[in-house]
Structure formats: structure tokens, C-alpha cells
């Protein structure tokens, strides 16, 4: 696996479609999995030493949450954004425009 600017990706020997050292994980929340994504799944993800940012995207409202930690020794801190706002994804070094994220590409301009 190649270097993607965040260090060398390490593949999971049991799953060729997964890496074991992600810097960021993005979840789109659904009604059936939201509690698990916020609870038990996030508890598992917090044990990944390479993980800097866990990003949750609501599918029902314009809301994106970022749980960020600069190092494994630091706790995750929450930043969220809604309509008309931007959210800096620090682990990816980019700014997310919330309105643009939720634009419906099938609606006429």
C-alpha cells in the first residue's frame, strides 16, 4: 500500500479492503446504527493509536461532528457545524462547507 501523505497505510491481513492505521474515519449516521456508531463503535475506534479524527455526518439534518485528538495521549474533543457554517477537518487539512455537503445534485440550480 502506498503513502497517501499521512504515512504508510498498513493493510489488514484479514481484510484486503481495510487498513489498520487510519488517521480519519467518516461515518454517515443512519437511524439503525447511530447509537452504535456513537457508542460501542467509537469506543473501539478510540483504541486505534493512529486515529486523529472521527467524523459523524447526519443524514437527516445539516450537522457534521468532528471528534479530534492530536495524539493518542490526548482525549478527543468535539467540534460541530450546521447550516451556513464550515468545519475544519484537522486530520485531513481541509475545510468542509456544510451547505455544499448537503446540496442535492438532482435539484435544478
Q: Per-residue pLDDT tens for 9-50?
A: 888 888 888 888 899 999 999 999 999 999 999 999 999 999
Cα gap 66→86, rounded to integer Å: 12
Dihedral angle over CA of 77, 31, 25, 55, nearest 10:
-40
Question: By three-state DSSP, how is residue 100 classified?
Answer: helix
C-alpha cell at 8: 504508510
Superfamily of domain 23-101: tt1808, chain A (3.90.1570.10)
- pTM of structure: 0.85
- Break the chain into its structural domains and give their ranges: 23-101
Contacts of 91 (CB under 8 A, 6+ apart): 6, 23, 24, 52, 53, 68
At 4, is the pLDDT very low, low, confident or very high (cuts 50, 70, 90)? Answer: very low
In order, the DSSP letters of 5-49 are: SSSB--EETTEEEEESS-SEEEEEE-TTTHHHHHTHHHHHHTT-T
Cell numbers 493509536 correspond to what residue?
Answer: 49
Amino acid at each position: 500500500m502506498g503513502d497517501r501523505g499521512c504515512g504508510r497505510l498498513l493493510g489488514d491481513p484479514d481484510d484486503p479492503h481495510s487498513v489498520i492505521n487510519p488517521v480519519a474515519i467518516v461515518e454517515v449516521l443512519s437511524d439503525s446504527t447511530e447509537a452504535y456508531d456513537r457508542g460501542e463503535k467509537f469506543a473501539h475506534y478510540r483504541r486505534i493509536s493512529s486515529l486523529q479524527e472521527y467524523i459523524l455526518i447526519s443524514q437527516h439534518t445539516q450537522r457534521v461532528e468532528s471528534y479530534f485528538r492530536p495524539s493518542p495521549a490526548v482525549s478527543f474533543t468535539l467540534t460541530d457545524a450546521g447550516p451556513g457554517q464550515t468545519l475544519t477537518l484537522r486530520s485531513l487539512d481541509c475545510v468542509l462547507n456544510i451547505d455544499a455537503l448537503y446540496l442535492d445534485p438532482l435539484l435544478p440550480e
